[in-house]
Amino acid sequence: MLLYNSLSRQKEEFVPNEPGKVSMYTCGPTVYHFAHIGNLRSYIMEDILDRYLRYLGYDVNRVMNITDVGHLTSDADTGEDKMLKGAKREHKTVMEVAKFYTDAFFADCEALAIRRPDKVVPATSCIDEFIRVISELIKKGYAYEAGGNIYFDTSKLEQYYVFHNFEEEDLEVGVRDGVEADGNKRNKADFVLWFTKSKFDDQELKWESPWGLGYPGWHIECSCISMKYLGERLDIHCGGIDNAFPHHTNEIAQSEAYLGHKWCNYWMHVLHLNTTSGKMSKSKGEFLTVSLLKEKGYDPMVYRFFCLQSHYRKSLVFSWENLENAKVAYEKLLQKIATLPKEGSVDEKVLEAAKENFRKALDNDLNTSLAVTAIYDVLKLDTNGATKRAALADFDKVLCLRLLENAEKLETKDETLAVDPAFAAEIEAAIEARKAAKAAKNYAEADRIRAELLAKGVTLIDTKEGTTYRIG
Ligand code: AMP
Ligand code: ZN
């Protein structure tokens, strides 16, 4: 399998440290707010990698942290702790906020068929480990104390900027939203391992340490949690592209300084989901969530399908129109699958060829859009329904689009629910009104009509030929 490695900036044959086994680490969410669908794009694409490795027969051990302390409003060690900001906003304690949004995150993951990592570790559960590793870094001369904080000394490294062209100016970009430069730093790129002094003295969670009462920096948590649960040699580390610098750059710096050897072999970065006005981010306040998609009548599977239609190394633009197109395509696909006969026995030769076509797509740096095309290729095959169904069930072990399951639901609904003629006329009238609203570019009204019908148990399906509906 070829996987693009951000370290070498090229596709490489994936070879794990231990044959047949894969250790995988994912940067988890900062649980001060709901995850937006941009965050979830990263988790969906990482899920594909996780599931595909399992599909290939690897024994995958995947660990993810939950950031519940230390992630400041600027990735460059300035600003307020995001968790504290969330707690103040909601008049709750930091731990209450962390619990609420951790649960909300996993509920979103479930709705999107994102597999829960084997081990999920909140940062606050590993403070002793952070203190131990930071002490070791100080002992080895890679860290220093200044103004009450402990910093990593980047000048001690042969190469700090490991991910492509990061130069000093890029670091300036990293600190642009900081109020002022931190005068304690010996070098511009140095970063905080442990805070005891911060302008925000009301930091709620603090722990005793050899350097005083304080709290960890954000970067040290991922290094320590990964090394604690996955050992000294990690196969794959993933995250969104904004994590490459400074977060992952700093993770590599401190892990390799601590270990004295190379730490992680493959770095997978998912490009951003953007809106038409730029990167989607939690700090912008207004952001799209899975709940909002549901409110607007979109099955979360439609969003997963939308993400899989494009490659993870290309940024993806979200618009309601694009999502609507994905919805139409997904529903049409389900309708086609629903008509597949179940009789007959599986033609193993044809099935194997279909699987090969599917693997070819994912073996090439997880080309999910070609993997989706492989679904359509199956539907076009000159073979019986049983063979087609078997191929789709196999692909869905990785894609998890609930193809057969949701097609089955369509079938049973169609069979069991006959529509009362007066109700049918009411639906047709609403469809006409919505069409007129759309023609007048009154999308709010069109959405309202869709939502109103949905509340009555009617799901509209837009196709090239016009709008139809489904009850339920
Ligand atoms: P956070 O909760 O902010 O720590 O981010 C969780 C994950 O989402 C990280 O892997 C980020 O790199 C990723 N991420 C943040 N914004 C986006 C976006 N607009 N598109 C895709 N991934 C994102
Ligand atoms: Zn991380």
Report the number of secondary-structure helices (H) and strands (E) in the chain. Answer: 16, 16
CATH code of 160's domain: 3.40.50.620
Q: Does one domain contain both 34 and 176?
A: yes
pLDDT tens figures, 223-243: 999 999 999 999 999 999 999
CATH code of 311's domain: 1.20.120
CA distance 353 to 344: 18
Tokens of 148: 């009450």
Integer distance in angstroms from the first to the last C-alpha of the chain? 42
457 pLDDT band (50/70/90 cuts)?
A: confident
Query: Angle at the Cα of 39 (from 299 to 311), degrees rounded to 5?
Result: 80
CA distance 318 to 247: 25
Q: Does one domain contain both 179 and 231?
A: yes
Pocket test for ligand 1, best of 39, 41, 97, 268 (most atoms within 8 A of CB): 39
State residue 201's pLDDT score.
67
Burial class (CB in 10 A: 0-12, 13-18, 19+), 82: buried
- Ligand 1 surroundings by CB, under 6 angstroms: 27, 29-30, 38-39, 41-42, 67, 239-240, 242-243, 270, 272-273, 279-282
Q: Nearest C-alpha to atom 15 of ligand 1 is from which residue?
A: 39
Tokens of 431: 């469809």
Q: Does one domain contain both 216 and 260?
A: yes
Q: Does one domain contain both 383 and 432?
A: no
Q: Does one domain contain both 199 and 341?
A: no
Tokens of 399: 């894609």
Domain count, the chain: 3
SS3 at position 247: helix
Closest approach atom of ligand 1 to CA 280: 19
Distance of CA 364 to the CA centre of its chain: 20
In a domain, 37, yes or no: yes
Residue 287 has pLDDT above 90, yes or no: no
pLDDT tens figures, 363-422: 999 999 999 999 999 999 999 999 999 999 999 999 999 999 999 988 766 554 567 778
Pairing of strands 264-270, 234-240: parallel
SS3 at position 62: strand
Q: Does one domain contain both 211 and 325?
A: no
CA distance 67 to 82: 10
Q: Does one domain contain both 81 and 219?
A: yes
The DSSP code for 81 is B
CB-based contact 246:219 (threshold 8 Å): yes
Residue 339 has pLDDT above 90, yes or no: yes
CA distance 154 to 467: 60
Ligand 1 center to 407 CA (angstroms): 32
Q: Does one domain contain both 218 and 103?
A: yes
Q: What is the mean pLDDT of the chain?
A: 91
State residue 177's pLDDT score.
45
Closest approach atom of ligand 1 to CA 271: 21
pLDDT tens figures, 38-59: 999 999 999 999 999 999 999 9
CA distance 21 to 54: 10
Closest approach atom of ligand 1 to CA 41: 21
Burial 17-56 (b: 16+ CB within 10 A, else e): eeeeebbbbbbbbbbbbbbbbbbbbbbbbbbbbbbbbbbb
| Mean pLDDT, rounded, for 3-15 | 97
| Mean pLDDT, rounded, for 242-257 | 96
Pairing of strands 59-66, 119-122: parallel
pLDDT tens figures, 94-133: 899 899 999 999 999 999 999 999 999 999 999 999 999 9
State residue 416's pLDDT score.
47
Residues around the ion ligand 2 (C-beta < 5 A): 27, 222
Q: Does one domain contain both 113 and 77?
A: yes
SS3 at position 183: coil
Give the residue numbers spanning the domain of 56: 2-270
Residues 6+ apart with CB under 8 A from 8: none
CA distance 248 to 182: 21
Look at residues 357, 385, 410 and tell me which one is the last residue of a structural domain.
Answer: 410
Residue 285 has pLDDT above 70, yes or no: no
Cis peptide before 16 (omega within 30 of 0): no
Q: Tokens 């019986």 label which residue?
A: 384
E strands present in 272-340: 273-275, 278-279, 316-317
